Amino acid sequence: MRLKSLLFISALAAGVQANAQTWVTDSVEMGAGYANDIFYNLSTGDSVGQPANNWDLAFQINKFGDPMFNASIRANHIKRKVEVYSLHMAVNATSFAAISASDTVGKTSRTMQLMNIDTSWGEGAFTQNRDLTDPFDFGWGKYQGAPNHDLLGDSVYLVKVNGTPYKMWVQQYISMVDTLIGYKFRIANWDNTMDNSVYLKKKDYPDRVFVYYDIASNTFVNREPNRYNWDILFTQYAKKDPNGGPMMGGPSPIAFTGVLHNLRITVAEVQNVDADTTHYTNYLSSFSPEINTIGDDWKTPAGSPPTGYNLANTTYFVRSHNSQEYIQIKFTQFTGTIGGAPAKTVFNKRVVGVTSVKDVKSNVSNYAIAPNPATNEASFAVEAKEQGEARFMVTDITGKVMVNRSVNLKKGLNAFGINTAEYAAGTYIITLGNGSWKISDKLIVQH
């Protein structure tokens, strides 16, 4: 990008920072013993709590990210003590029924336990036995290619839930035809007293990231909000030891309490700065899609045994593609469950900008709004490739026209002032274009 464009963006960013929203304090409570998972929307403050122990397996139902991770199955290692082991067996209907405890010998040591990876929703326990040299191997099955593009299961797993063993065969992921897309799997007790063939269809859960399953009751649990309505999840999770093995604490993986973020979210972690004055544009190269970027290391136990928690001097910038905002978070208190108290996390948050600087394929190279949010006035700055006429409009979210005028763009930088003093607080849409191109973005007005 040219120097002039960089200066242009930097000047606008400075304007946004000068007009960032004031801090808002909020909190969530996970309950005694971290009983609940909390799905949280940073923009609205809405939260949805769900029992953390009401599911065993989670099936990814909407595609995301790397194609290799588009049929992920995760396990509830912490709250239901779910253990997953690959039995390395080719399987069909006849051999599945014949599987017995003797087939698990030598295949269930602690180091063989397959675990979710905490950096990506796409790396669930059932993908951890995949052949990394084979791009068509998904762990539980293999991609079959055209014309159906299905995945066919080729192995069986031992799944333990609170010590109760089950055998499981993920038979197929159907990829084509909206009404058919989904998983077919078979799960049974070792003595086949419970032998269920299950078909999970995406059409029944169109707006979820995962669909959750309770093995004993053979039911699906619709516990997750619409995937566009939450940004971060307060939860407990297991993670891999830095040396490569699963982190174990006695018979079970160690529980880490922290924050994982949703798809369509990226986060920058910034340490040892003044949270009130530092600006997200200084860290644009640091935004990461790894879902544990916030994670659990913003707090450490204080005392032995712990009597409280110390908080790290860390702030986080969250880019939410759901709200199209940059939101800053600073944790101020974490009580844990010391003394049996409900686990409570307190944090400050504020909107520090909107994702308004873009590269566009039109007569415009870059554009941005500043300040945004605005109080009395705002500027819509545009870098045009060529001179020409265009129409400049501002409307509210109901379509009411606030500004509608013809403008002459000059080649280079252009700025259009907007008097927002008389606008009601809310969201407005700024549009600039002509018959062959159009750009638009959101302006937030606050008083």
The answer to whether 379 touches 338, Cβ cutoff 8 Å, is: no
CATH number of the domain to which 390 belongs? 2.60.40.2550
Both 397 and 307 in a single domain?
A: no
pLDDT of amino acid 154: 86
Both 34 and 61 in a single domain?
A: no
Which of 438-443's residues contact partners 24+ apart within 8 Å by CB, and which partners? 438/362, 439/358, 439/360, 439/362, 439/364, 439/367, 439/382, 441/354, 441/356, 441/358, 441/367, 441/369, 442/324, 442/354, 442/356, 442/372, 443/369, 443/372, 443/374, 443/378, 443/380, 443/394, 443/418
Q: Which of 320, 354, 388 is the last residue of a domain?
A: 354
Both 91 and 212 in a single domain?
A: yes
Both 199 and 76 in a single domain?
A: yes
pLDDT of amino acid 442: 86
pLDDT of amino acid 356: 52
End-to-end, the C-alpha distance of the chain in Å comes to 35
Instruction: Domain count for the chain, please give it.
Output: 3
pLDDT of amino acid 214: 98
Both 342 and 361 in a single domain?
A: no
Both 315 and 366 in a single domain?
A: no
Both 183 and 198 in a single domain?
A: yes
Both 328 and 421 in a single domain?
A: no
Both 188 and 327 in a single domain?
A: no
pLDDT of amino acid 12: 54
Both 69 and 197 in a single domain?
A: yes
pLDDT of amino acid 381: 85
pLDDT of amino acid 334: 94
pLDDT of amino acid 362: 67
Tell me which residue range forms the domain holding 197: 55-221
pLDDT of amino acid 259: 98
pLDDT of amino acid 14: 53
The C-alpha atoms of residue 120 and residue 142 are separated, in whole angstroms, by: 20
CA distances from 124 to 46, 106, 170 (A): 27, 23, 14
pLDDT mean for each 10 residues of the chain (447 residues): 48 52 92 95 94 97 61 95 90 87 89 92 91 86 88 92 96 90 95 94 92 97 93 93 69 88 93 92 88 95 83 95 88 85 92 64 75 87 87 88 92 89 90 84 88
The answer to whether 362 touches 409, Cβ cutoff 8 Å, is: no
pLDDT of amino acid 358: 52
Both 132 and 205 in a single domain?
A: yes
pLDDT of amino acid 8: 52
Both 339 and 431 in a single domain?
A: no
